[in-house]
Amino acid sequence: MEFNAPAGENLFDHGRVTGKGISRIDGPLKVTGRAPYAYERHDVVGDQLSGYPVLATVPQGRITAIDTAAALAAPGVLGIVTALEVGEMPHPFEQNVAPLFGGDRVHHYHQAIAVVVAEEFEQARTAAALVRVDYDAQTGAYDLDAVWQQKKGDHADPVARQGDFDAAFAQAAVTLDQEYRTPGHSHAMMEPHASIAAWQDGKVTVWTSNQMIAWNRQSLAKTLGLDQDDVRIESPFIGGGFGGKLFLRADAVLAALAARKLERPVKVALPRAAIMNNTTHRSATIQQLRIGADRDGRMTAISHEAISHSQPGGSGENAVDQTRWFYAAPNRLIVNHVAEMRLPEANAMRAPGEASGLMALEVAMDEMALKLGMDPVEFRALNDTQVSPEDPEIPFSDRNFRRCLHEGAKAFGWTNPAPRSQREGAWLIGQGMAGAYRGSPVLTSGARVRLLPDARLLVETDMTDIGTGSYTIIAQTAAETMGLPLEAVEVRLGDSDFPVSAGSGGQFGAASATAGVYAACLALQKRIAEVLQAGDAPLRFSDAQVHVGGRDIPLAELGELSAEDKITFGEFRDKQHIVSTFGAHFVEVAVHRLTGQIRLRRMLAVCDAGRILNPVTARSQLIGGMVMGVGAALMEEIAIDTDKGFFPNHDLASYEVPVHLDIPEQQVIFLDTADPVSTPLKAKGVGELGLCGVAAAIANAVHNASGVRIRDFPVTADKLL
Ligand code: MOS
């Protein structure tokens, strides 16, 4: 079905199962260790060999020789596949910027260049260290600051320009002009990338850990020169992705090539120390914010100019995008530069763009409020807008940012104290807040539903569950639509044999995939109407029965029926509206006045994200995002060796992420909104919103506590002293 306008009547009979806080139905499988993750598929494929990757140790250049003799002679080793023997392979997918494997060119440090296969993992790992590689290495430039100094102020090709920023900024009564820096971030998901590949009759099956099944299948087929029909991808459980598993990665390519050569199933996991440089990461950014306002706080001019790095051909981190949509100001200038560098590939990480962009914009807004002598809550509320700041003809579909600000301030007990005015013994206490903005895109999403003779319903879609709760909200959607109890619905996900869904990414997964399942259920209802020869009589589904023309017919009596459909979204949604999610974050911190140690004391998020399909799983998304925001604020940082062109802190000891002790009480409030333009279920994404703005709120709270303004993330104790 095409969703092209809000339904006049509430087609989706919401509230019996959807909207209920149901614990995830796959929870018992996970906590008992029975959920089948990619590296552990002994249930479906036996006789597995272990492959261990060999990774380039130069940032760029050519491989002149790979000597495998010593490795091949090592105990247990059965074979080695090298990039030189395979040769250059077709590029997997337009959004994978750097090639994953094959040929003699090294595009970045830790690019995969061989895989050693042995009976046992330890044998493969030991032998991999014996592979000798000679390079014709090249040096390159890896200093983002240096490129920023050259490109900054070049406004020849802006992302957007309205009015006359320069004139308005020059005339503004109160102005701010500051630079902010955000470091690179690693997805640091719990489960490293892993795949098992097995061939039969020229067809390959890959059990892997991937967010986007159809992309993965298409990419692997292209890379291996196969027809898509000869590639099967299965990824029913994923131990975290955050964007790092949107695309095909080297583990699947190496496993497939090794399994083909050795004629046995081969499994390859990327070692933790390979994740940082071999896979993707969020680029570092440097951002300049300039804001002008009149004395009463109304913004007259805003400019956001940023730079990030990318492999040649990529787009880096779009840190300026939210600034186009968040606050009104008639004179606007938005500029985004990309510095091409052969650092490992920068690509999407949770809330790509906004996560970094709001770290600068929302600190700048705090600084402006202080200059104006305004409460930062009221400064933001004053500059809120219900239409596109770039085009007043285009409204937001449903925007309740002011409610987020005011309900948050009330729930938090916001008093806007002066900086460095609160003290408890050796601790300086501070409160900070920030706004949150994240787009809410959707993608076409399909599903197949099958009514079984015992009135059970089977739902099949290649949608993934990356820890988000997809299984549960899809079951709730199907149960609601078909009038069945939740227990009667079985959901199967993550298999390329199932209809193509939106997949998980960009916080489009839940909204898109539930709408696709709803469309498939409507198709099944039509099929049932045909079977019952109901004509135009309306059907109603409840209590495992269909009610039509005064008859109550148990679904169990209908026999086996199946239907398939997908949801598509017309112009009405994205061309005539801006569909986005909004939030406000409030935090309290304590800063030790002698050591600079920072402790979080409490966090509150108020979210405007349309209808909440399941407040338990949605809350988990929010608090998970908030934890990631604590990491971005206080500790996470990919270090760049600007001489050698790689990231030296490539493990979880030197790339720090928050642990339980770092996280205080977290409170989440969802506004009771429903977005009629978003999807038939009126739902929007929450998976990325929870991260947006958090780091700025913390930096603002640290300033409020200590009086020290840090514009260079992460905010660490040494910078406060
Ligand atoms: Mo998300 S960064 O699109 O998985």
User: What domains does the chain contain, in order, with CATH numbers?
Assistant: 2-35+442-573 (3.30.365.10), 391-440+579-721 (3.30.365.10)
Nearest in space to 554 (alpha carbons), one of 536, 541, 537: 541
350 alpha carbon – ligand 1 mean position (Å): 5
d(CA 359, CA 618): 23
**Ligand 1 near 348 CB (within 6 A):** yes
C-alpha of residue 649 to centroid of ligand 1, in Å: 23
Which positions ≥6 away from 15 have C-beta within 8 Å? none
Helix or strand run (H / E) with residue 402: helix 401-412
Conformation bin of residue 467: beta by default, left when phi > 0, alpha when psi is -120 to 50: left
Best residue among 249, 349, 512 to mutate for probing ligand 1's pocket (most ligand atoms within 8 Å of CB) is 349
Strand 489-492 to strand 540-542: parallel, antiparallel, or no bridges (unpaired)? Answer: unpaired
Residue 84, class by beta-carbon neighbours within 10 Å (0-12 exposed, 13-18 middle, 19+ buried)? middle
Does residue 211's CB lie within 6 angstroms of at least one atom of ligand 1? yes
Label the pairing between strands 489-492 and 457-460. Answer: parallel
Q: Is the peptide bond before 158 cis (omega within 30 degrees of 0)?
A: no
Distance in Å, CA 516 to ligand 1 centroid? 20
Scored b (16 or more CB within 10 A) or e, 649-680 reads bbeeeebbbbeeebebebbbbbbebbbbbbbb
What backbone phi and psi angles, to 5 degrees, belong to 190? Answer: -65, -45
Q: Is the pLDDT of residue 106 over 80?
A: yes
Q: What is the pLDDT of residues 574-598, one digit of tens each?
A: 999 999 999 999 999 999 999 999 9
Residue 552 identity (one-letter amino acid): D
Ligand 1 atom at minimum distance from 243 CA: 4
Residue ranges of alpha helices (H) inside 35-162 are: 69-72, 83-86, 121-128, 144-151
Pairing of strands 331-340, 299-310: parallel
Q: How far apart are CA 398 and CA 386, in angstroms?
A: 8
Q: What is the pTM of this model?
A: 0.97
Measured from the Cα of 508, ligand 1's closest atom is 3
Closest by CA to 670, choosing from 436, 358, 384, 319, is 436
- Among all residues, which ones are annotated catalytic? 688
Distance 58 CA to ligand 1 centre (A): 28
Q: Specify burial of residue 387 (Cβ count, 10 A radius: 0-12, 13-18, 19+).
A: middle
Atom index in ligand 1 nearest the CA of residue 466 equals 4
Which pLDDT score, from 0 to 100, does residue 19 have? Answer: 93
Q: Is 503 in the pocket of ligand 1 (CB under 6 A)?
A: no
DSSP summary character for residue 712: B
Q: pLDDT tens-digit profile of 136-185?
A: 999 899 999 999 999 999 999 999 999 999 999 999 999 999 999 999 99
Write the pLDDT tens digit of every residue in 261-296.
999 999 999 999 999 999 999 999 999 999 999 999
Is ligand 1 within 6 A of the CB of residue 509? Answer: no
Q: Is the CB of 246 under 6 A from ligand 1?
A: yes
Going by C-alpha positions, the residue among 309, 362, 318 that lies closest to residue 336 is 318
Whether pLDDT at 510 is above 60:
yes
CB of 355 closer than 6 angstroms to any ligand 1 atom: no
Question: Which residue's alpha carbon is at the smallest distance from atom 4 of ligand 1?
Answer: 243
Mean pLDDT, the chain, rounded, equals: 96
Q: Is 625 in the pocket of ligand 1 (CB under 6 A)?
A: no
Please report the ipTM that was assigned to this predicted complex. Answer: 0.96
Cα–ligand 1 centroid distance for 187 (angstroms): 10
